[in-house]
């Protein structure tokens, strides 16, 4: 069976985007890593939030092998994934004013913590208000978004602003409007989104930068090991016990 031309084109597109963010966002990634390392070293807590498919990159750094044990998912019921029925409810909730404030007020996040907010477009009320309210509480905000949307779309928040306007550090995923890398004769809609690949890579690169910063300061990064390797469960048990007051995904 011959190779798929379109599959190869998607890999080329994704690799090109990964190279762009590696080269063009290196300073911002280092700054985000430093912010996370500062928070770990200073006794603060780490949180990640994303709505819809943007939540995939947030979930990818929470409770996983090779990840920082202190990264917690700031979940908003109904917007974390496509498991909600109907799935369109999640998109609708992203546009609801006031929801972000209610979530933050009932969360353990507070002054001195870091919140990573992932939103491809950064135009909906939920991520914009999440960033605004978090900073008002003294939480440092790292935004992961596509800056292109701020040029070619309008904000859905009453302020007319985007996520990037309320962040201490912005990581630009470089994803084009519409999040579809390919077109083809006979196929009416563009297809093959790359935002999950690129955004997850940005998140993992930031975690790596944070680990690098910590070890340079003489601090052992609180990383988790795979539970599928010998000794993994024991290792994770020790890490979670040591940092139990800053981990919120377990009892």
Residues 163-220: tens digit of each pLDDT: 999 999 999 999 999 999 999 999 999 999 999 999 999 999 999 999 999 999 999 9
CA nearest to 240, candidates 68, 25, 92, 73: 68
Tokens of 44: 């603060």
50 three-class SS: strand
**What pLDDT, in 10s, does the model give residues 110-157?**
999 999 999 999 999 999 999 999 999 999 999 999 999 998 898 888
With H, G, I as helix, E, B as strand and everything else as coil, classify residue 231.
coil
Of 197, 202, 211, give the one whose Cα is nearest residue 169: 202
Q: CB-based burial of residue 154 (10 Å sphere; 0-12 exposed, 13-18 middle, 19+ buried)? A: exposed
Evaluate whether 139 touches 111 at the Cβ level (below 8 Å). Answer: yes
Radius of gyration of the chain measured on its C-alpha atoms: 19
- E-strand ranges in 56-198 read 71-73, 114-118, 140-145, 169-172, 182-184, 187-191
Instruction: Count Cα neighbours of 207 within 13 Å in the Cβ-side half-sphere.
Output: 28
Token pair in block for residue 159: 């302020």
In the predicted structure, residue 230 carries a pLDDT above the cut 90: yes
pTM for this entry: 0.95
The confidence score (pLDDT) of residue 195 equals 97
């Amino acid at each position: 069976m011959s190779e798929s031309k379109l599959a190869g084109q998607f890999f080329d597109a994704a690799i090109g985007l990964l190279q762009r963010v590696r080269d063009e966002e290196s300073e911002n990634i280092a700054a985000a890593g430093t912010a996370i390392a500062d928070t770990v070293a200073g006794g603060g807590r780490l949180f990640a939030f994303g709505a819809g498919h943007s939540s995939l990159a947030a979930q990818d750094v929470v409770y996983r092998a090779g990840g920082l044990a202190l990264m917690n998912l700031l979940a908003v019921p109904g917007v974390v994934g496509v498991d909600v029925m109907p799935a369109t409810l999640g998109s609708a909730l992203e546009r609801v004013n006031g929801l972000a404030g209610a979530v933050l007020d009932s969360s353990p996040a507070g002054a001195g913590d870091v919140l990573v907010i992932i939103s491809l477009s950064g135009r909906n009320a939920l991520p914009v208000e999440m960033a605004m309210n978090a900073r008002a509480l003294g939480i440092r905000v790292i935004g992961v978004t596509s800056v292109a949307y701020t040029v070619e779309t309008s904000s859905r928040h009453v302020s007319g602003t985007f996520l990037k306007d309320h962040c201490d550090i912005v990581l630009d995923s470089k994803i084009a409007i519409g999040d579809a890398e390919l077109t083809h004769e006979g196929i009416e809609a563009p297809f093959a989104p790359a935002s999950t690949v690129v955004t997850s890579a940005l998140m993992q690169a930031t975690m790596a930068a944070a680990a690098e910063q910590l070890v340079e300061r003489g601090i052992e990064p609180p990383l988790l090991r795979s539970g599928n390797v010998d000794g993994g469960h024991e290792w994770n048990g020790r890490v979670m016990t040591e940092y139990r007051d800053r981990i919120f995904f377990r009892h």
